[in-house]
Amino acid sequence: MKIGDVAEKSGVPAKTIRYYEEIGLILPAKRSDNGYRRYTEDDTQTLHFISRARGLGFSVEDCSNLLALYQDRERSSADVKAIALSNIGRIQHKIRELRAMEKTLSDLADRCHGDARPDCPILEDLSEFH
Amino acid sequence: MKIGDVAEKSGVPAKTIRYYEEIGLILPAKRSDNGYRRYTEDDTQTLHFISRARGLGFSVEDCSNLLALYQDRERSSADVKAIALSNIGRIQHKIRELRAMEKTLSDLADRCHGDARPDCPILEDLSEFH
DNA sequence: CCTTGACCTTCTAGTTACTGGAAGCTACAT
DNA sequence: ATGTAGCTTCCAGTAACTAGAAGGTCAAGG
């Protein structure tokens, strides 16, 4: 398989696959005589794994760890769970932050009449010290 | 006032103030004879405004627009509200995404016994095609 | 007067995770 | 022979800073 094929199958763009190779997240692909990268079904699996983990908010470094754990038949599920839990914590924290932002902004927008008049509670709030 | 003073008063680090000047978000500060940047209370206000807007999730470019609107005595509150609303939309979208991630990860973590045994629903899920 | 320490200056480079584009080679169909 | 699609490498840009190096400035203390 060439890079375009594995890109389509795994859902990871060719550019991104080359990038993952460059940063060492995946092993350098073997090359054909013409210099093209060659891939197998296993590579498709690996890239899909990465794609799904990234979609769940794991960092590239997390992916590297998860991949190592995935390939280690001896690893304990506790190791994996620890990474997942710390990620859940970060996600929850981010959600709380965003909710606070949203609430403040919504309150301000509600109080702003939003017409041609220049007075605006949003700007007034931003310019005040709290 | 020197950069360190205005940094402390506004809550924006000195490094960041220089950066804001470099990218044109704020006007270049006047210099003292020794080459140090000099600031006034107005600058403190402006930096505080930016800091608060950034804290509410506005991009630096948003800040640039908000600042222009803030300094325009003729502007309508509708212009400001439009920026705020589009920001609220982006924040809500991000919250929905993060909640979906969190739910999937929590479900997986719940099903993972998290002990020394190697079988792990988290990795199994990541490696499956959906 | 000299030193110490806290600031200040500029410049370069690193962070995260890609993405776009240019220049040039290869493969295959018409 | 030619077109075009896909492959290669390398360089640069994105957002918004942040760290660090090398060196100038200033006030206080001995």
Domain harbouring A21, CATH code: 1.10.1660.10
Q: What is the dihedral of CA B74, B80, B83, B87, to 10 degrees?
A: 160
Tell which wins on pLDDT, A129 or A41: A41
Contact A80/B122, CB-based, under 8 Å?
A: yes
Asked whether residue A65 is domain-assigned, the answer is: no
Is residue A67 assigned to a domain? no
Nucleic strand C within 7 A of Cβ B1: no
Question: Is residue A55 assigned to a domain?
Answer: yes
**Domain annotation covers residue A69:** no
- Residue A97 and residue A52 share a domain: no
Q: How many residues does chain B have?
A: 130
- State residue A60's pLDDT score: 95
Residues B69, B5 within the same domain: yes
Question: Cβ(B123)–Cβ(A79) under 8 Å?
Answer: no
Q: Three-state SS for A76?
A: coil
Same domain, A51 and A85: no
Instruction: Report pLDDT for B71.
Output: 86
Say yes or no: A49 and A92 in one domain.
Answer: no
d(CA B96, CA B86): 16
Nucleotides of C under 7 A from a protein CB: 7-10, 16-21, 26-27
Under a CB-based contact definition with an 8 Å cutoff, are residues A122 and B87 in contact? no
Backbone angles phi, psi at B30, to 5 degrees: -65, 155
DSSP class of residue B118?
S
Burial of B113 (0-12, 13-18, 19+ CB in 10 A): middle
Positive or negative, the CA dihedral B48, B52, B53, B59 is positive
Position B40 pLDDT exceeds 90: yes
Any chain A CB within 8 A of the CB of B85?
yes
Q: Does nucleic acid strand C have an atom less than 7 angstroms from the CB of B2?
A: yes
DSSP A25: S
Any idea which of A70-79, B8-17, B42-51 has the lowest mean pLDDT? Answer: A70-79
In DSSP notation, B2-50 reads: -HHHHHHHHT--HHHHHHHHHTTSSPPPEE-TTS-EE--HHHHHHHHHH
Integer Cα distance of A17 and A15 in angstroms: 5
End-to-end CA distance of chain A: 60
Same domain, B35 and B82: no
Interatomic CA distance for residues A125 and A108, integer angstroms = 8
Q: Which of B35, B54, B75 is the last residue of a domain?
A: B75
The domain containing residue A26 runs over which residues?
1-59
Same domain, A4 and A53: yes
Confidence of residue A63 (pLDDT cuts 50, 70, 90): very high
Tell me what pLDDT residue A71 has: 86
Least confident of A72-76, B27-31, B54-58, B63-67: A72-76
Average pLDDT taken over every residue of chain A: 92
The answer to whether residue A22 is domain-embedded is: yes
- Mark whether A49 and A93 lie in a shared domain: no
Mean pLDDT within B99-106: 91
Q: Looking at the structure, do residues A51 and A80 belong to the same domain, yes or no?
A: no
Q: Which residues of A touch B120 (CB under 8 A)?
A: 77, 80-81
Query: Could you read off the pLDDT of A9-39 as tens digits, one per residue?
Result: 999 999 999 999 999 999 999 999 999 999 9
pLDDT at A117 over 90: no
For residue B89, what pLDDT is reported?
Answer: 92
> Do residues B92 and B63 share a domain?
no
Q: Which of B75, B104, B120 is the last residue of a domain?
A: B75
Would you say residue B127 has pLDDT above 90?
no
Distance CA B58, CA B63 (A): 6
Q: Answer yes or no: do B112 and B102 share one domain.
A: yes
* A83 and A34 housed in the same domain: no
Nearest CA in chain A to B63: A126
Q: Read off the DSSP letter of residue A31.
A: B
pLDDT digits (tens, 9 = 90+) for B43-92: 999 999 999 999 988 999 999 999 999 888 788 899 999 999 999 999 99
Which of B 96-125 lie inside 8 A of A, CB atoms? 98-99, 101-102, 104-106, 108-109, 112-120, 122-123, 125
Residue A40, pLDDT score: 96
Residues A88, A34: one domain?
no
- Nearest-neighbour CA in chain A from B16: distance (Å): 19
- Contacts A–B by Cβ distance under 8 A: 148
Q: How many domains does chain B have?
A: 2
